[in-house]
Amino acid sequence: MVESAGTRVGTGHDPVVSAGERPRPLPLWVAVLAALAGGGALLVAFPPYGLWWLAPVGVALLAAAAHRRRLRAGAGLGALTGLALFVPMLAWTNLHTGYLPWLLLSGLQAGYLALLGLAIALVSPVVDRWRWSWPVVTGVLWVAQEALRDRTPFGGFPWGRLAFSQADSPLVRWAVLGGAPLVTFVTALVGGFLVAAGWWALAAWRRPGPVEVGAAPARVGLPALGAAVAAVAVVLVGLLVPLGSGSGSGAATVAIVQGNVPRLGLDFNAQRRAVLENHANATIDLAARVAAGTATQPDLVVWPENASDVDPLRDQTAAAEITAAADAIKAPILVGAVLLGPGQGQVRNTGLLWLPGTGPDLDQMYFKRHPVPFAEYIPLRSIARKVSSEVDRVRSDFVAGTRPGVITAGGLTLGDVICFEVAYDEVVRDTVTGGAQLLVVQTNNATFDVAEARQQMAMVQLRAVEHGREALMASTVGVSGFVGADGRVTGATGFNTPAVVVREVHLGDARTVATRVGFWPEVVLVGLAVAALVTAVVTRRRRVVPADGPSVAGGDVDPATAADAEER
């Protein structure tokens, strides 16, 4: 095989680049377009668009854009991708609070992708020297970025995790083995294979000078083809991952009541008694249909979050309405309620079991463990008020619960999580390890829109697959529905409309690998990301100083001319 003079294999140089030509990043204008296109591809991978296969493409575009760039440029390109993703994705947050909170949240989330872009630029020497590592390094960096974003600040905001774009993809099956972090990893892994294939193909196209027949395919063409095949293989292998059965402890009939609200928006509960009446009346109507033989008698009825924003433990009228509904349907009702206390000016977001004949079961309550900052409680209220006066709409801070949402209702055990808690791995996992046979997500989407509701339903789908449990989501306004242990949604309701859905669900008791291993897959993947970053730092420090001058600290893989540096 003929090799260009001075070519070094296994170093930072491409095998098709001569010694006189330094490795270069993409032209800046191309990188900017790639970063923006990457954010757009990631956006449409999520509901309500659902083009899941574009998520790896978005990963690849950002990886290509930031590769071999200076750290500052890598961060800037990552921020562009983040803004292109989060500004439109989180547009539902500005429907009733104005532009400023929406843009601040979007900018904060984009900041984590800026860190990711910086990390991609930093590890360029590693993936240039060991090209086979590019997919794996890409995957672990995405997991590390999400691990940080899921936890900081104020408990994090996991919306827009790669894993949540794959609810209808073969890749979602990987959740059985390692939960959402593993799904994010394999999704980014596919993107890493794509960018490696593209880079090798680009190198083949740019190969200078005459070569021996058959040399290019062997050195560049075959690796590019192999990486592309590997990307497809990872997706197809997902189809071979066995799912949890979702059964083992019998079955139960469950009814979801979506009572709807008088009006959408932050004032949805200004007529909170009307919201309660909507859910009570819908349940009584269901009881009439059961008595008439046109509907199946449920073993459990689930009302959504905020179904009773009047504390039924203190308000006799509210208690009487819920009691009338429970007595009519002759089944326990899991009521989404807001309870006053425990202290002055404090409230708790609660899943409260209400029994026919006897009323509330105070031993079977779940207090939301992860209240949403700046929505359910206001950190640094005096400072936050200077940013937006909308914070004063939150008059009472929600107090976090301390116990997992394991609730026993008759012959079944529920794993209750409330609203955004479904995005947090440990909150859902704790209910399953606590004995939950069925996952229940009580939510209120009246302050958002159908896009937010569908994004949340995708999270429920992943959790069902992850833990091998059938699940349901009950919303005040939609989208409500049932999810099988395979992630398929049935009985999905419309948005901003009353609905009642009754289904037989299978109760699970087996534990998946993901349930058993817990957070360890994420720990391992983050550890690999740290190792890659450390290796990159060491590689940069040990880089040989070239004859034409020293490298710039934090610079690209190899030094460039002043013109090159300016371009980057």
Provide the annotated active-site residues. Answer: 305, 368, 419
Burial of 153 per CB tally in 10 Å (0-12, 13-18, 19+): exposed
Among residues 124, 112, 26, 32, which one has the least CA distance to residue 80?
32
Q: Scanning the structure block, which residue is given the tokens 């949240």?
A: 105
Q: Scanning the structure block, which residue is given the tokens 């439109």?
A: 88
How many degrees, rounded to 5, is the angle at CA 136 between CA 130 and CA 142?
130
Categorise residue 440: left if φ over 0, alpha if ψ from -120 to 50, beta otherwise.
beta
CA gap 566, 334 in Å, rounded: 62
Q: Are 456 and 489 in contact (CB under 8 A)?
A: no
Burial of 552 per CB tally in 10 Å (0-12, 13-18, 19+): exposed
The residues near 118 (Cβ < 8 Å, ≥ 6 apart) are 66, 71, 72, 74, 75, 78
Q: Are 142 and 148 in contact (CB under 8 A)?
A: no
Tokens found for residue 307: 């179904």
Q: Are 502 and 297 in contact (CB under 8 A)?
A: no
Tokens found for residue 557: 């893989």
What SS3 state is found at 288?
Answer: helix
CA gap 143, 9 in Å, rounded: 30
CA gap 268, 259 in Å, rounded: 12
CA distances from 121 to 18, 22, 55, 220 (A): 23, 16, 20, 23
CB burial of 422-448 (b: ≥16 within 10 Å; e: otherwise) equals bbbbebbbbbbbeebbbbbbbbbbbbb
CA gap 485, 47 in Å, rounded: 20
Q: Which amino acid is at 22?
A: R
Among residues 506, 351, 499, 492, which one has the least CA distance to residue 419?
351
Q: Which amino acid is at 549?
A: G
Tokens found for residue 393: 């709409």
Phi, psi of 98 (to 5 degrees): 90, 175
